[in-house]
Amino acid sequence: MKENNRFRRILLNTLLLVSLLWCLKSAELLFHWSLTWMGIHPNTPSGLVGIFTAPLVHGSLEHLFNNTLPLIIMGTMLAVGYPKVWWRVLCLIWLLSGLGVWFFAREANHIGASGIAHGLFFFILVASMFRRDKSSVAIMMIVFLLYGGMTMTIFPREEYISFEYHFFGALAGVIAAFLWRSVDPLPPVKQYHWELVNEDDPVIGNEWQQGLEAEQQTPQSNNETEKS
């Protein structure tokens, strides 16, 4: 019951954060605002503000919808599987991906939360390779099954899609996985009753131990014969 309550709380918080993106897009459409100034304009002083604001702005409803489900699912998975570091991971991805775009991206207005989504994906993927516990691997398999295509969208594909944001988001996720892979403790390994109780089999007793001892003594006897 406690775990269910925790999951519902995390999911609700993730939904609230993503709903902020929809509120901004709705206000932009209703009041005919233009929020393009919140994007990242590489190598310009005015574009620095976009490092903090660009993930909040989307070019269209389709653009926002394409990012909504990945953010909800992977954001929830991140907080469930890595409760101690999820906020560090999110902050690092947010800032580092924006800085990478500002320094190295082509001349354009870069907006959208797809860099954040790619960072979450690559963090979950790489962290599971480091940790290799059941929980992190299970989360990685779910995320990879749904969004494994993100491994290819970090490369140039379409002219008006900021692959740079994808790439630097992914790079930030990998760095975060390397830095904080061990902060969250590994879940305890379940031990079964037969592993804890040292009992002889009711049918064969301890004959299996005697057979093992005989196998260990046989090679030793052969070595003594060869030496003589």
Condensed to tens digits (0 to 9), the pLDDT of residues 6-26 reads 899 999 999 999 999 999 999
Return mean pLDDT, the chain: 87
- Whole-number pLDDT of residue 181: 87
- Tell me the average pLDDT across 62-68: 95
CB 107 within 8 A of CB 164: no
- Give residue 160's pLDDT band: very low, low, confident or very high (50, 70, 90): confident
Distance from C-alpha of 192 to C-alpha of 86, rounded to nearest angstrom: 32
- Give how far Cα 227 sits from Cα of 73, 215, 218, 220, 221, Å: 67, 19, 15, 11, 10
Distance from C-alpha of 184 to C-alpha of 176, rounded to nearest angstrom: 13
Is the pTM here over 0.85, yes or no?
no
Of 124, 99, 117, 100, residue with least CA distance to 177? 124
Strands (E), the chain: none
> Given the structure tokens 């109780």, which residue do they identify?
197
- Whole-number pLDDT of residue 116: 97
Residue 206 has pLDDT above 80, yes or no: no
Distance from C-alpha of 112 to C-alpha of 142, rounded to nearest angstrom: 24
Of 96, 152, 144, 142, residue with least CA distance to 119? 96
- Identify the residue with better confidence: 194 or 39: 39
